[in-house]
Amino acid sequence: MFDQHEEELLKKLPSLDEITLDVVRDLSASQHRYLDIRSGDLYNTSRVIEGKNLDLLAQAELNLNKKQWAVGSILPTKLDHISNRNDICLEWLNKQPPSSVLYISFGTTTSFSDREIKELAMGLELSKQKFIWVLRDVNRGDNFTGEDRRVELPEGFEERLKDVGLVVREWAPQPEILARTSTGDS
């Protein structure tokens, strides 16, 4: 599942068992004293996409007279490590013409309703645009309750679009996907 480089990185991460509510509370409390002396806040987003939300955050009392920087999404400009994984999605992308594939991924902090996912699926089908869509469990569950649910795409969606698009339901190697000529990297 993971190559040797990825396995080494995973070993360095703390387990969830080591992270308690006390640790989170203490971390939050230790940062609170710096709120008044901060220059502003960094947001992992784009002003083009979430400008209205950033404007609302700026109006919060805590943020008055503070700067905001929308700096996301930050991706490496060059891959330092190319995995030797043979992902189906990378194989599929390698067979597509240059700059022909739309990459769709909403990250791990965004969750959609069944209806929203089905609407997106219908829009993709009607567009006839080649695509790779990362639709992981986090996109199908309730991030706050931990409830998992299996969203079904419209019946026959993946079969009808197998030559046009690919739905990836597991972790996807985003930097490697975006480094492909089919997604626009030159």
Tens of pLDDT, residue by residue, the chain (186 residues): 556 776 777 677 766 666 667 777 788 788 888 888 889 888 888 888 888 989 888 888 888 888 889 887 666 556 555 555 558 899 999 999 999 999 999 877 777 888 899 999 999 999 999 999 998 765 454 545 555 556 678 999 999 999 999 999 888 888 889 889 999 876
Do both 107 and 53 map to the same domain? no
Burial 67-81 (b: 16+ CB within 10 A, else e): eeebeeeeeeeeeee
Which phi and psi (to 5°) does residue 28 adopt? -60, -45
Q: How many domains does the chain have?
A: 2
Tens-place pLDDT, residues 97-142: 999 999 999 877 777 888 899 999 999 999 999 999 998 765 454 5
Do both 114 and 66 map to the same domain? no
Do both 109 and 53 map to the same domain? no
Spatial separation of the C-alpha atoms in residues 126 and 160, rounded to whole Å = 12
User: Domain range for residue 58?
Assistant: 38-74
Residue 8 located in a structural domain? no
Spatial separation of the C-alpha atoms in residues 94 and 45, rounded to whole Å = 29
Residue 142 located in a structural domain? yes
Do both 96 and 150 map to the same domain? yes
